[in-house]
């Protein structure tokens, strides 16, 4: 789960990572109240879970209440890369001497945590990586050893930060590492981490992704779930206990097993189509699961055909076939369905379906045939 900047900063604050004083506002009046509390000048910042807010006009410096009111009014309701701004963060403005980049994330291939630190902050790190890769100091941290102050100091030296910033930055990186590990983050990123003209190092932005698999030991994450603007399809799928990921294509996909679901996506793409989702219904493909899966896919207006690709192993295809029929009795499905059923008891499954096949419910013998048919139907 991704956090908003203000939530990320509040998360940072629990470990003592310095940020600017500020508060959230959902209205113009609240923005002015928060600005008065933070002290002028302030920065009015759009809270959306997407980068590049500055360039999009979602971040403005304001010297007085009049300017705050004007910018708050401009930014609330603004569309930034498809995200509508509903909330602002208003904080005391900093005088910036230097902008740095700092982050921790997991490098799965290296089986270590990866810290990235750069004196070239404020711009997207992908851009620095592409144009000036040697400007990023990488540090691999063995999770068993952790990050000690001495290593952090050497790392900060390697990143070539301003000498005035180094001691504070090294201490801050140790703290950021603790926040990342103890806070169960997949990503803890500060861009920019700044050196102020008064010589203070602190976080001006916060990008935090929490590891959803650790949610069970963080009951306090409930509050983030409440503001999580999840894809409505994914929300619906989660409520029904399905492994679903929304995509932007037109062929809805239902498969049993993550491997088969991914292969199905590949084959649909290979024959010129595009998947509307990934959906693994797992081992149990009874009527309840099938109805839930069809319901979620049916809620997506972009879906023009549905490809149900089942290879029976422990799951018996005759049960799946019955599940599909029962589900169709319960849910009205807008798009035509293509079935490919193979594996354990496939013949029995096909016999169950045979009397019900129509131009709305089609059977194909192989995965490739099924994908072609589904893509053709989606293109009509
Ligand atoms: P992003 O564009 O979504 O990454 O938003 P950031 O919070 O990183 O802000 C973008 C840029 O706005 C920063 O890189 C700064 O240059 C500028 N900015 C943000 N806060 C302040 C501030 O307090 N003072 C000044 N002078 N500039 C700021
Ligand atoms: Mn930023």
DSSP state of 139: E
Q: Does residue 11 fall inside a structural domain?
A: no
H or E segment and range at residue 227: helix 222-227
Q: Return the CATH number at 39.
A: 3.30.1490.20
Residue 299 CB partners (closer than 8 Å, separation 6+)? 232, 233, 236
Q: Which is the closest atom of ligand 1 to the Cα of 91?
A: 23
- For residue 375, tell me if it sits in a domain: yes
Report how many domains make up the chain.
3
115 and 218 part of one domain: yes
Q: Which residues surround ligand 2, an ion (CB under 5 A)?
A: 191, 205
Considering 92, 126, 154, which residue would you say is the last residue of a domain? 92
Best CA proximity match to 72, nearest among 54, 41, 111, 45: 45
Ligand 1 centroid, distance to 363 Cα (angstroms):
56
Of 18, 52, 96, the residue with max ligand 1 atoms within 8 A of its CB, to mutate for a pocket test, comes to: 96
Smallest CA separation from ligand 1 atom 17, residue: 54
Residue of minimum CA distance from atom 7 in ligand 1: 205
Give the position, in ligand 1's atom list, of the atom nearest the Cα of 96: 26
Asked whether residue 182 falls in the same domain as residue 294, the answer is no
In this structure, the answer to whether residues 163 and 299 fall within a common structural domain is no
Ligand number with the minimum distance to the CA of 100: 1
Nearest to 260 by CA among 139, 342, 344: 342
| One domain, residues 289 and 321 | yes
Residues 138 and 242 reside in one and the same domain? no
Angle at Cα 142 formed by Cα 136 and Cα 144, nearest 5°?
Answer: 155
- Protein residue with least CA distance to atom 13, ligand 1: 122
CA of 67 from ligand 2 middle (Å) equals: 22
pLDDT tens for the chain, 380 residues: list them: 999 999 999 999 999 999 999 999 999 999 999 999 999 999 999 999 998 999 999 999 999 999 999 999 999 999 998 889 999 999 999 999 999 999 999 999 999 999 999 999 988 899 999 999 999 999 999 999 999 999 999 999 999 999 999 999 999 999 999 999 999 999 999 999 999 999 999 999 999 999 999 999 999 998 888 777 667 888 888 888 888 999 999 999 999 999 999 999 999 999 999 999 999 988 766 778 888 999 999 999 999 999 999 998 888 899 889 989 988 998 899 999 999 999 999 999 999 999 999 999 999 999 999 999 999 999 98
Token pair for residue 366? 């192989």
Pocket of ligand 1 (CB under 6 A): 43, 51-54, 59, 61, 93-94, 96, 99, 122, 191-192, 204-205
Q: Is residue 2 part of a domain?
A: no
- End position of a domain, from candidates 63, 92, 121: 92
Residues 368 and 285 in one domain: yes
How far apart, in Å, do the first and last CA atoms of the chain sit?
37
Domain assignment of residue 354, given as a range:
232-379
- How far is Cα 105 from Cα 209, in angstroms, rounded to an integer? 9
- Asked if the structure places residue 3 within a domain, the reply is no
The two tokens of residue 331 are: 């849910």
Q: What CATH number is given to the structural domain containing 317?
A: 3.40.50.261
115 and 74 in one domain? no
CA distance 194 to 122: 9
For residue 158, being part of any structural domain is answered with yes
**Statement to judge: residues 137 and 267 lie in one domain:** no
Same domain, yes or no: 199 and 158 = yes
Active-site residue set: 101, 189
Q: Which of 222, 246, 271 marks a domain boundary?
A: 222
**Is residue 269 a part of any domain in this protein?**
yes
| 106, 173, 320, 354 from 150: Cα distances, Å | 21, 11, 60, 71
- The closest-lying atom of ligand 1 relative to the alpha carbon of residue 54 is 2
Quote the ligand 2 centre to 51 CA distance (angstroms).
Answer: 7
Does the residue 36 lie in any domain? Answer: yes
Asked whether residue 87 falls in the same domain as residue 107, the answer is: no
Does a structural domain hold residue 308?
A: yes
Domain co-membership, 77 together with 100: no
138: helix, strand or coil:
strand
Q: Report whether 298 contacts 360 (CB < 8 A).
A: no
Claim to verify: residue 88 and residue 101 sit in the same structural domain: no
Q: What is the pTM of this model?
A: 0.75
């Amino acid at each position: 789960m991704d956090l908003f900047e203000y939530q990320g900063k509040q998360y940072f604050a629990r470990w003592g990572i310095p940020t600017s004083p500020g508060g959230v506002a959902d209205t113009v009046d609240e923005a002015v109240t928060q600005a008065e509390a933070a002290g002028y000048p302030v920065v009015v910042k759009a809270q959306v879970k997407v980068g590049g807010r500055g360039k999009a006009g979602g971040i403005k410096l304001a010297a007085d209440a009049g300017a705050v009111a004007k910018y708050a009014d401009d930014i609330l309701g603004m569309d930034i890369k498809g995200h509508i701004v509903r909330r602002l963060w208003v904080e005391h403005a900093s005088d910036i001497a230097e902008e740095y980049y700092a982050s921790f994330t997991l490098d799965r291939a290296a089986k270590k945590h990866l810290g990235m630190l750069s004196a070239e902050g404020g711009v997207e790190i992908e851009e620095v990586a592409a144009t000036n890769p040697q400007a990023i100091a990488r540090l691999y941290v063995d999770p068993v050893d952790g990050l000690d102050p001495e290593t952090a100091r050497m790392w900060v030296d390697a990143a070539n930060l301003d000498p005035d910033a180094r001691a504070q930055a090294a201490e801050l990186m140790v703290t950021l590492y603790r926040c990342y590990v103890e806070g169960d983050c997949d990503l803890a990123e500060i861009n920019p981490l700044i050196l102020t003209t008064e010589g203070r190092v602190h976080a001006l932005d916060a990008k935090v992704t929490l590891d959803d698999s650790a949610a069970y030991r963080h009951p306090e994450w409930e509050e983030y779930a409440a503001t999580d603007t999840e894809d409505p399809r994914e929300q619906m799928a989660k409520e029904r206990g399905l492994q679903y990921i929304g995509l932007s294509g037109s062929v809805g996909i239902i498969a049993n097993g993550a491997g088969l679901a991914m292969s199905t996506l590949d084959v649909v793409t290979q024959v010129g189509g595009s998947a509307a989702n990934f959906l693994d219904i797992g081992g149990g493909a009874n009527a309840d699961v099938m109805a839930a899966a069809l319901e979620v896919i049916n809620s997506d207006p972009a879906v023009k055909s549905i490809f149900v690709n089942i290879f029976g192993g422990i799951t018996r295809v005759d049960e799946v076939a019955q599940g599909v029929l029962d589900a169709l009795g319960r849910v009205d499905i807008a798009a035509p369905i293509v079935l490919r059923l193979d594996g354990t008891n496939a013949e029995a499954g096909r016999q169950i379906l045979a009397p019900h096949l129509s131009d709305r419910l089609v059977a194909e013998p192989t995965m490739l045939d099924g994908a072609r048919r589904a893509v053709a139907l989606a293109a009509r």
